[in-house]
Structure 1
């Protein structure tokens, strides 16, 4: 075993000159086979690793073009009502039918990603399964043809080529997201699934070697005399930990511990895999690419944190219904719906990690335009950092902390100003995502930048106390709407005890509103979200819908939107276009009927 477990001299690439073959021990057909494409060990990196890279790049380019067409359409959209539905819009509506639909499995309380994401993941699985199993033979019929089983060779190269994309999909400053218009948190589903695909191809790579060595009685000798076997196990163990500990229930319950151990296990995995590859052919090229791409994201993220400033201070305020408000004066700019990762430097151990929070205010400096010049964030207390924030907020003296701001990230890809009508739906503190969208539409309407003529916001909360978070803001927004823009707000108070006493009835009871000309209404009970969506999409024109709430809340909204999109495809809708954007967070518990309470596990803080 050589120093640092690498062959010497250490090279960038290993030679491609075939060696060690005994042509006399093979038939002419066997000798010819090992030199053909897809079977040649010395070109396997070109055949399989490059094919994997080309496949990923083709997909990224495709969705980059789709994003380009979408952005051009946003900029060139003609003002007024679009009554004619073109073939292009029907194709878009068909894809959005999948993009807004989810599947809920009640037996395990599982909410699937949007069916559009499921379709993409299915395409990934189908491609890599074909690339792995389409070429035969899987094992050499004659050991003289090589000691590396063909299926192990190809699956190993596929695994290596997946690595750069796997790491990029995990980053905050996400290069794939930049060109496709998809925010980093929505790419996490592809990060997790590419991790599973890479894990499966790694197992397919490992098992044939193990079986072959045990069959030939060479396992003990190979383990003690070469680095290939034990370094492969050293990489496979942390990889197994990574994929299984990333399973949703485990990840969500022990998130802070998971996050720290995830980085440690990832470092061990990549290091062991680097040694295992031992500069075979072009294997290390994929590590250099991974280091460059991940390094760019890392430096960009922390560089932006430095540019954002090191002297920001946050103040904390305890609010009703077990909430905390975080206020940070700043000159930074952000778009409605975006979020920052906040590191609280004066809160002890919590300074070691940053936490994502949606910004509930608008960027700007003129209070008359709803630009407060401060970042306002809201979080429900639920252990960890949120418990610490509330404790600080209740202290008699210290109620501030120095913070570092990383961001902004995310937001809505579409320009809501160019749609005829906008529907905003918030469950619990999900309202922190949709309120800035409402304020931005009103502000731009005053300056003539918006063609939107109707905005309807629905906010469902568990208790009436929660309404105090934004009641005054929404009232002033409704009163300040310019002439020609219809703005209305409806509150739903879903008090759990009252609903159980009433047999979990969905019937609502209106209460008289004052001071807003009856354009702010208040009801008790749960909102009929599908009915609200269908009625809002019934009229001619274009519609934008944004929702943020627990998974069940968004499921109801997305299902209704999907049905309306399908009506456009079938030509049975007067509405010509529907744009849908959904944000979600984890919910604490379920009603007996299966409809989630509008009280998330961590409200206002994003995962």
Structure 2
């Protein structure tokens, strides 16, 4: 073994370890900032709750003069704007924020610098192919334990950083694609270095390497966004098969280079995640596994409209979640494979807010005392006693679920979860919740959580704006009873504004079911005992019953798309302290919100002059 070869082998084993040290340091820095942010929110929440209990502080919500002490907070807001609200947009459905762009560019530079650095041989030849040929393969192999971990639901990175697995999924895909290029650099350079290459086809390590690259190439192709969006089930099945084929091939390929220690941890990580998920299934669905005390997980699928299905079933007594979290549902009679799991946001509220016999102190004289016992929950009962999901009908699994709903049969369901973080809005003075269609699954429980925390003295929030954009006015009946009861329970200190925007054709708003009746162009006629006439924000009159949602002054209905930029701009102008904006909707909605909260609305000068410190939470249900 000559000196060049000894040096190459030493660096091939050293550089992947150094790369891991750098990645570990980066994860540690991110985790540190996450913990600091968490502790700051806790501290701010306690201080805000304490001030809210003091009448002298609670009654004062006004801006102060310019303060140098608020400059650091203004700089933090600038960082948020630049990192998460400035975006690169590709077409109408794909967006990368600057934080994602930075991480992507940094990772590409990081891996390729480590590949091509110190590649001058002892004779002075620069970029010697023998130096970086195998090193590129070793560096690529060293990344797969982390890539595998980022693709699992229960991973150590989420545990350390507090970043949910769905947010880390972008990093998982990005790393796969960068490593894919690096592996082709390794394969191509190997062909050039060992030309003619034909004699090597008898080698097992080469055969397994080719099998791995073919599988990985297919995986990267089907994982492209257009394919995932149009044929998600195809991606689901191909992803499982090709990822397993690639790892098996990579294991046997690296045996020749004594570097299987980078590959076999992938099987352990994946197996551990599956084992944890299996335990969750057994715990939450144990009646199916021979335990008599288990719940009967028979779900009711209800067709709310041509595009939406509501799935609801009894909540296991030991299954608990927080607003905004998701659960993976397995429906054997609907899915093509028995282990096929699909994530959906839990629309119901895990609370005892209504589990009292009677509300003793009504929040306003306008409302009489209302019974809150379980038997009087009416159509809102599922939101408190069951697991509820609003599912947007597309193709594949959701289309088959729609067919099951049309038949009216019960469907067996296994639930795995909950997953994802829950936005803790207790420390915010103002919260704006924006949803589009089934995105209300995310914002509705958050609204109910804010009301409960304020009632219990756990939050000093004094204003909530709830914006819901829907295609048809019929969709209002998904949650109208829940909103009525929630608004009646809201304490007087909490100002709530409900803005519902119907984006369908104007004629749709004239076809109001049940208690909603149009008064299109005719002279308004009012029967005070049963109904009243209200004017919509677009100037149209509508007759509604006194017990409907729109009889409440804080609820507004408009037959137009919401002008999110104007609404958010006005809220920022009047808000003080800390302000949270939470969004769950389509790419167009999230783009509008991001654009509304950029400069100059969230400028350092505005914060220094007493404006709010704005935090944006995005829970997009589009294909990532």
TM range, smaller chain: 0.7 to 0.9
CA shift in 2, pair 1:289/1:255, >3 Å: same
> Which whole-Å deviations, capped at 9, do the CAs of 1:214-269 have from their partners, x for residues lacking one?
2xx3x122222x33333221211111111121110011111111111111101111
Query: Are residues 1:175 and 2:156 paired?
Result: yes
SS at match of 2:184: helix
SS at match of 2:461: coil
In the TM superposition, residue 454 of structure 1 has moved relative to its aligned partner by 0.7
Alpha-carbon distance, 1:307 to partner: 1.5
Shift in Å at residue 383 of structure 1?
2.7
Counterpart in the other structure of 1:236? 213
Aligned counterpart in structure 2 of residue 537 of structure 1, from 545, 569, 572 = 572
Please tell me the root mean square deviation across aligned C-alpha atoms, in Å. Answer: 2.8
- Per-residue CA deviations over 1:555-577 (Å, capped at 9, x if unaligned) read 11012123367413675653242
Asked whether 1:267 is paired with 2:302, we answer no
Any idea what SS the aligned residue of 2:603 has?
Answer: helix
Aligned to 1:563: 599
CA distance 1:55–1:368, shift in 2 (3 Å)? same
Q: Which moved more, 1:261-270 or 1:314-323?
A: 314-323
Contact kept in structure 2, 1:97 and 1:565, CA below 8 Å: no
Structure 2 residue ranges without an equivalent (≥5):
52-60, 288-296, 357-380, 509-536
Looking at structure 2, the residues matched to 247 and 167 of structure 1 have their Cα atoms a distance apart, in angstroms, of: 18
Distance 1:187 1:252 in 2: 19
Could you say if the C-alpha distance between residues 360 and 348 of structure 1 is closer, same or farther in structure 2, counting changes exceeding 3 Å? closer
Secondary structure in 1 matching 2:496: strand
Which residue pairs with 2:400 in the alignment?
Answer: 388
Deviation at 1:297, TM superposition (A): 1.7
Structure 1 partner of 2:322? 335
Residue correspondence of structure 1 range 520-531 to structure 2 within 5 A: 520-531=555-566
How far apart in 1 are the matches of 2:169 and 2:225? 12
How far apart are the structure 2 equivalents of 1:67 and 1:449?
A: 22
4+ runs deviating over 6 angstroms: 138-142
Between 350-359 and 258-267, report the one with greater CA deviation. 350-359
Candidates 303, 324, 329, aligned match of 1:318: 303
The equivalent residue for 1:409 is 419
Give the C-alpha shift of residue 138 in structure 1. Answer: 8.4
Which residue of structure 1 aligns with residue 377 of structure 2?
none
569-578 vs 172-181, which deviates more?
Answer: 569-578
Secondary structure in 1 matching 2:286? coil
For 1:372, what is the secondary structure of its paired residue? helix
Using the TM superposition, name which of 436-445 and 467-476 deviates more: 467-476
- Which residue does the alignment assign to 2:282? 306
TM alignment of 1:428-577, pairs within 5 A: 428-496=437-505, 508-509=538-539, 516-538=551-573, 539-563=575-599, 566-568=602-604, 571=607, 574-577=610-613
Written as runs of structure 1 = structure 2, the 5 A alignment for 1:152-163 is 152-163=133-144
2 CA distance for matches of 1:248 and 1:292? 28
Displacement of 1:97:
1.0
Distance 1:571 1:392, change over 3 A: closer
Q: Return the alpha-carbon distance in structure 1 between the equivalents of residues 589 and 226 of structure 2.
A: 19
CA distance in 1, matches of 2:328, 2:403: 21
Superposed CA deviations along residues 329-377 of structure 1, whole A, max 9, x for unmatched, are 1121101011100011343636441111111111135534797131111
The Cα shift of 1:41 comes to 2.3
Structure 1 CA distance for aligned equivalents of residues 568 and 486 of structure 2: 22
- Per-residue deviation at 1:517? 4.0
Q: 1:93-108, aligned counterparts within 5 Å?
A: 93-101=77-85, 103=87, 105=89, 108=91
What corresponds to 1:43 in structure 2? 10
- Partners of 2:245 and 2:73 lie apart in 1 by 48
Structure 1 position 511, deviation (Å): 5.3
> Distance in 1 between the 2:336 and 2:330 partners?
11
C-alpha displacement at 1:141, in angstroms? 7.7
Match in the other structure for 2:618: 582
Query: Which SS does the other structure have where 1:72 is aligned?
Result: helix
State the alpha-carbon separation in 2 of the partners of residues 197 and 263 from structure 1: 20
Of 115-124 and 74-83, deviating more is 74-83
TM-score for both structures, normalised by structure 2: 0.80
Larger mean CA deviation between 228-237 and 260-269 belongs to 228-237
Matched, 1:131 2:108: no
CA contact under 8 A between 1:489 and 1:519: conserved in structure 2? yes
Residue 372 (1) aligns with residue 387 (2): no
Could you list the runs of 5+ residues in structure 1 that have no partner in the other structure?
1-18, 22-30, 500-506, 587-605
Distance in 1 (CA, whole Å) between partners of 2:590 and 2:97 is 11
Report the secondary structure of 1:335's partner residue.
coil
Distance 1:392 1:542 in 2: 45
Alpha-carbon shift at residue 321 of structure 1 (Å): 4.9
Between the aligned partners of 2:420 and 2:83, the Cα distance in structure 1 is: 17
Shift in Å at residue 89 of structure 1? Answer: 2.5
CA distance in 1, matches of 2:123, 2:414: 57
Maintained 8 Å contact 2:163/2:421: no
Looking at structure 2, the residues matched to 249 and 132 of structure 1 have their Cα atoms a distance apart, in angstroms, of 31
CA distance in 1 between partners of 2:121 and 2:600 (Å)? 48
**1:585 aligns to what SS in structure 2?**
coil
Using a 3 Å threshold, how does the CA distance of structure 1 residues 510 and 368 change in structure 2: closer, same or farther? farther
SS of equivalent to 1:537: helix
* Residues 1:221 and 1:392: Cα distance change in structure 2 (over 3 Å): closer
* More moved, 348-357 vs 550-559: 348-357
Deviations 1:295-328 (A, max 9, x none): 2222112212211123422112221353211112
Q: Distance in 2 between matches of 1:41 and 1:72?
A: 47
Helix, strand or coil at the partner of 2:387: strand
Report the number of matched residues.
537
Q: Distance in 2 between matches of 1:140 and 1:404?
A: 65
Report what 1:290 is aligned to: 266
